[in-house]
Amino acid sequence: MFSLLILPLGISVGFKFTPLPFLLAQAGVPFYRIATIASIVHLPAVLGFLWAPLVDTKLRRRTWLVLGALGTSLGLWIAFPLIGAMHLNLLTVLILAAGVGDSLVSASCGGLMVTTLATAAQAKASAWQQAGQLGGGALGGALVLWLVSLVRPLTTGMVLTVLIALPALVALTVAEPATAPSHRWTMQWRSFVTRIAHPRMRIARWRSRSFDAAPQKRLCATCLNSTRRRGDTRIQAANRAIPAISGSDPAR
């Protein structure tokens, strides 16, 4: 089952890896622009941790998986006829938005695996998930390249949309318990934004750290001076004791 649930991600990533650069090159797009577009559309795979906690809030994970797959299929369906040298910026934005959807598919699939399967069955399910992701990427990319040579780009985009959306519907058959209401992620996100993005709070936090460090510096200086005084006293006592010892020794 999990090999089917991850297929939307595999097909989407496979399209971005192979058919997209090939079709852009066929359309006469310079190689440096193709490299730039490829780098941008893969950003959701790097930044997905920012919105992945969404799948643990409000809706069930299976619902998030279906929504992510439908968003991915819709974005690629609109973007596919735009592949060429005329609408590169719009094409990049649409594929980037579709990438956000397939990253939600990945997060939801992992959450379903943990919450619906026993620990012993998770290893087997994760293996099937990897097989579905890699297989979907290879077969999906090959199918798109084959269809482009036979039918119009709009038809190819429709076929790609169906291939991404249909497997995600299998998630609705998963017996998943309802998600408990939680505001933990919202509170953490607000705290992160407030602390990082608010300049006044950053300055106040820096000043408080500076003021807190001042007493510690004074304390360290006091300890150092006290140690030095004790060392000087011991040296002076030793110097006074040396003549007394040498005077009481009859051999000297």
If you ran DSSP here, which 8-state letter would residue 163 be given? H
For the record, the structure tokens of 210 come out as 């500076």
User: Is residue 173's pLDDT more than 50?
Assistant: yes
**Mean pLDDT of all residues in 75-84:** 90
Instruction: Give backbone dihedrals phi and psi of 218, rounded to 5 degrees, phi first.
Output: -65, -40
pLDDT score for 50: 87
Reported as a pLDDT band with limits 50, 70 and 90, residue 41 is very high
For the record, the structure tokens of 186 come out as 């919202």
pLDDT tens-digit map of 192-216: 566 665 655 555 555 555 544 445 5
User: Is residue 249's pLDDT more than 50?
Assistant: no
How many helices (DSSP H) and strands (DSSP E) are in the chain?
Answer: 11, 0
Residue of 210 and 14 predicted with greater confidence: 14
pLDDT score for 124: 86
For the record, the structure tokens of 214 come out as 């001042």
Q: Length of the chain in residues, anyone?
A: 252
Alpha-carbon radius of gyration of the chain? 32
Encoded amino acid at 151, one letter: V
User: Is residue 118's pLDDT more than 80?
Assistant: yes
CA-to-CA separations, 175 to 26, 61, 68, 85, in angstroms, rounded:
46, 11, 19, 46
Reported as a pLDDT band with limits 50, 70 and 90, residue 184 is low
Encoded amino acid at 80, one letter: F
- 42 and 98 Cβ atoms separated by less than 8 Å: no
Encoded amino acid at 146, one letter: W
CA-to-CA separations, 186 to 96, 100, 226, in angstroms, rounded:
24, 19, 51
C-alpha to C-alpha distance for 174 and 167, rounded to whole angstroms: 13
- Select the highest-mean-pLDDT range: 12-26, 199-213, 228-242: 12-26
User: Is residue 251's pLDDT more than 50?
Assistant: no
